[in-house]
Copies of this chain bind each other. A is one copy, B any other.
Amino acid sequence: MSRTVSSVDAGQTYMELHHQLHRIVDRAMSSAGLSLGRAKVLMRLDSHGPMNQATLAGLLGFAPRSVTETIDGLEGDGLVTRTEDPHDRRARIVALTESGQHALEAAMTVRNKTMDEIFGVLSPAERAQLVSLVNVVRTNLAQGESDCGQ
């Protein structure tokens, strides 16, 4: 615990664990039928309700074209529907179906189980410590994000 860790090294270590988490969670969710990328689309529709594709792409931070491809697949599997936007004839409103809702719930169960296995190696005190340290960083980001890194 006493060795010197630079801020850059701490950031690097943080990012590396995230890459591993992402890969493991994606693999577990994909084997349950819904990749992390597809699940993220359904999550946004679940929390925000039906919306047009451009809004959805913006929320996800994806390029419009890659959202179109993902939605094509989800629509083909009956997990979302696409209908004409009454306010804009060129736009399409995407909505979660009941099957989509169930698929999302199943995928989230797998995700949470995986997270539980991964972070369950820490003791309750260690988890509280980790969350406390992460929250120090997050609180500072929330205050300085508008000018950070400029």
Residues of A within 8 A of B (CB): 1-18, 20-21, 23-25, 27-28, 31, 61, 66, 110, 112-122, 124-138, 140-141, 145, 148-150
Q: How many copies does the complex hold?
A: 2
B18 x A15 contact (CB < 8 A):
yes
- Closest chain-B Cβ to A92's Cβ sits at a distance in Å of 22
- Closest chain-B Cβ to A88's Cβ sits at a distance in Å of 27
Q: For A140, list chain B residues within 8 Å (CB).
A: 118, 121
| Known contacts A14-B21, A130-B14, A134-B17: A141-B118 contact under CB 8 Å | yes
Task: Name 8 A/B residue pairs within 8 A (Cβ), A-sorted.
Answer: A5-B128, A5-B130, A7-B127, A10-B122, A16-B138, A122-B137, A129-B133, A130-B134
B20 x A18 contact (CB < 8 A):
no
- Extra contacts besides A12-B115, A114-B149, A122-B136 (4): CB < 8 Å: A1-B132, A6-B116, A17-B138, A118-B148
- Closest chain-B Cβ to A122's Cβ sits at a distance in Å of 6
| Known contacts A11-B119, A14-B130, A20-B138: A4-B124 contact under CB 8 Å | yes
B1 x A129 contact (CB < 8 A):
yes
